[in-house]
Structures are given as structure tokens and as C-alpha cells.
Amino acid sequence: MILPRWMMFAAGLLVGAILARLVVLWWKYRGQRVVTCPENQRPAGVTVDRTRAALGGLTFRRELQLNQCSRWPERAGCGQACLHQIEAAPADCLVRNILIKWYEGKNCRTCGLPIGPIVMGAAQPALFTADKVSVDKVSVEWSDIPAERLQEVLSAAEPVCFACHMASKMMREHPELMIDRSARTVNSSR
């Protein structure tokens, strides 16, 4: 039996709408987040099982569940009460958004240029911190900071643009490839 075109079109629209909803929900719950653990009132780094969240969204029942928590495996049997924070404001606790907001209006501590808008997937600015994460007082990348310590580190950090961070990293990791032109002397006999 061949279906009429309008039925095929309607079925295509329905499938498209379902797929779009899956993608939107899967994207909404991506990434690492910082929540306040209800048990000890301290920050915890968590990730949501986004596949479960997306599939639960198809039935219009939110079935959020943690996929990972910085307090696990010791506290793996917790009731996951922190999920209410994510449900209430999923974008506000996303590490990426916290960092983007922190960089707004700031200038690089090294060159003084504005950090500017941060585009995901492009070159990312770094952080200069004298924190325990970086004992040597060097710039560190976002991924080097545990989510549960993010607010603590940001309170003592300064922004560093991508170019300055990469130059500093190159000098630390490959000093044999660097030339220090600031120490050059001019030979006046020629």
C-alpha cells in the first residue's frame, strides 16, 4: 500500500520534530557543571546523563540523572538532590558559561588587550593563578581546573589571552626553541 504524499509529509514532519527535540535536549544538558552539594554545601563538579535526559524529554518527563560527580565513588549512592539546581537553571551552572561570564570586560594580564567575546571551539583564553593548581604561577587552561574548584580559582585568577598563554607555554615547555631578543646588545664597532 502506497501512502498519500500528505501522509508521508506529515510523518516526515513528526519524525523531524522528534529528532529536533532530542538534539535540543541532548545539547542543553551537555558539559560539566558546578552545583552546590546539598550534603556538605560545597561545590561539586557533575555531568548529566544527557542521553537519558533527551530520551526522557520525548515523554515530557524529565529524567535527569548524574553521569559523573567529583564526590564519587565515595558518595556514589547519594540521592542526587543537586539535580534540582540543574533543572532550575541548566545554563547558569554550566562551567563553560561561568567562564564566559567571568571573562566579560576583562583584559589580558600580560599584554593588556581586551579578551573579547569567547567563541566555543576556537582559541580559548587561559587563567593566570597563584593557586595550588599552578604552583609555578603560570597560565593554565580551563580544562586544568577541576569544576569543583572553579569558583575558588576564579576568585584569585587573572585572565590571559590565548596568544600570551601559548607564548608562555612555549617558553616553559620548549625554551631551547625560543630567542630572547630583549637581551640583545648592539655591536657599536661596526
Sequential pLDDT tens for the chain (190 residues): 677 888 888 888 888 888 888 888 778 888 899 999 988 899 999 988 887 877 777 776 667 888 889 988 887 778 888 889 988 888 899 999 999 999 999 999 989 999 988 887 788 899 988 645 444 567 888 888 899 999 998 988 899 999 999 888 888 888 787 776 665 555 544 4
> CB atoms < 10 A from the CB of 128, how many?
21
The CB-side HSE value for 122 (13 A sphere, CA atoms) comes to 10
CB 31 within 8 A of CB 93: no
